[in-house]
Chain A
Amino acid sequence: MRIISGYVLLYLGAFFLLVSSIGLVRLPDVYTRMQAATKSTTLGVFFSVIGVGVLNPSWLVKCIVVAFFILLTAPISGSALLRASYKAHSPISSQTTIDKTKEFSENEDGEK
């Protein structure tokens, strides 16, 4: 049972990593690509690491710590990179219709 659930987690992680790598190639602009590279990669790595921990229980605590730090750091670096590319006026795909950052950037300037 433990072995099966461990492999299920591993393959789930591999699936999310595959999805994110397809998205990295197929999506049109920086912002959507970063979504693929941040969100689903985080989830994929998380499931893979936890799967390794389930398969080998003596590593479980270490794996949980690793997963915690990945959950903590990947979104932060993703948000910083995205904001930097927005400030550098990276072109937005023509299919994008809503730009919330533009609406909120005025508030941010007022805060500063």
Chain B
Amino acid sequence: MIRSIFYSLFLGLIIAAVLMFLVAFPFGQNKMGVGQYYLDNTVKETGASNVVTAVTLEYRGFDTLGEMTVLFAAATGVSLIFYLSDEEKKKKKRENNRTKANFVVRVGSRIIFPFVILFGIYIILHGHLTPGGGFQGGAVIASGVLMLYLANPDIQIGRNKLLVTEGLAGLTYVLIGLAGLFTPAKSFLANFLPLGTPGFILSAGILLPLYIAVGVKVGSEFSGIIDDLFSTIDENGGEE
């Protein structure tokens, strides 16, 4: 009883303190200098017309490397629980004998799949020009793979190929970053390529190759997660 009163008093104190500081800010005015700085100088400094991409890859490129590591850890965690070798997966699939999707879905998914992949690639390549980028495009590509898996139970993407692709993409990101150390800027992830004209696809220096690496990595990682999850589905699970 006393403890809960103490807790609620403590919580009230924290809320009051937060509110006190919030009141000190004038409402509706921009007190943060950083946001305005990005808006004013991004195009000039990085050549990217998409400010969000410039912030994620140029000003905070190191954070993005951390994000990719988090994603990698998540994918590894899924693999730890669900991993089966490709032969075991095939065997398990034969045992499960999942119901086929109907003819329309099977054929339709094959027709739509290339368009989904094309759209994903478009989003990745235009990451520095329009909203979108590596993470979003990679997720779109993985959703295409998910569609294939849903429509065709027999399909199987080689897990090892995905792992190699993912590793190479991550390595590319780090190598591009390390290359920055040998340029006049002498810093990790320095933008050493020519900036070009903002608004063109070959602009913004290293942002394009970095986002391609991110897109490939995210796409193969998500596809791997989908593959792991699908191959261990037990159709009769829960009812037995």
Contact = CB atoms under 8 A, between A and B. Distances in A.
Interface of A: 69, 72-73, 75-76, 79-80, 83, 87, 112
Contacts of A87: 99
Contact of B115 (A69, A80, A83, A112): A69
Interface stretch (B6-14, B102-110, B163-171, B225-233): B102-110
Nearest to A111: B100
Interface of B: 99-102, 104-105, 108-109, 111-112, 115
Give me the 9 closest cross-chain CB pairs, A-B, nearest first: A76-B108, A79-B104, A80-B105, A83-B102, A76-B104, A76-B105, A79-B102, A112-B100, A72-B112
Contacts of B108: 72-73, 76
Nearest to A69: B115
A31 B240 CA distance: 30
A83 B100 CA distance: 11
A80 B102 contact: yes
23 contacts: A69-B115, A72-B108, A72-B111, A72-B112, A73-B108, A73-B112, A75-B104, A76-B104, A76-B105, A76-B109, A76-B112, A79-B102, A79-B104, A79-B105, A80-B101, A80-B102, A80-B104, A80-B105, A83-B101, A83-B102, A87-B99, A112-B99, A112-B100
Given A79-B104, A80-B102, 14 more contacts: A69-B115, A72-B108, A72-B111, A72-B112, A73-B108, A76-B108, A76-B109, A76-B112, A79-B102, A80-B101, A80-B105, A83-B101, A112-B99, A112-B100
Nearest to A112: B100
The residue in A73, A75, A76, A80 that gathers the most chain B C-beta atoms within 10 A of its C-beta is A76
A80 B106 CA distance: 10
Contacts of B111: 72
The residue in A75, A79, A112 that gathers the most chain B C-beta atoms within 10 A of its C-beta is A79
Contacts of A73: 108, 112
Contacts of B112: 72-73, 76
Contacts of B101: 80, 83
A112 B98 CA distance: 10
Nearest to B109: A76
A73 B104 CA distance: 10
B144 to A, nearest CB: 13
A26 B100 CA distance: 33
Contacts of B104: 75-76, 79-80
B150 to A, nearest CB: 9
A112 B153 CA distance: 12
A15 B221 CA distance: 45
A72 B100 CA distance: 20
A87 B112 CA distance: 25
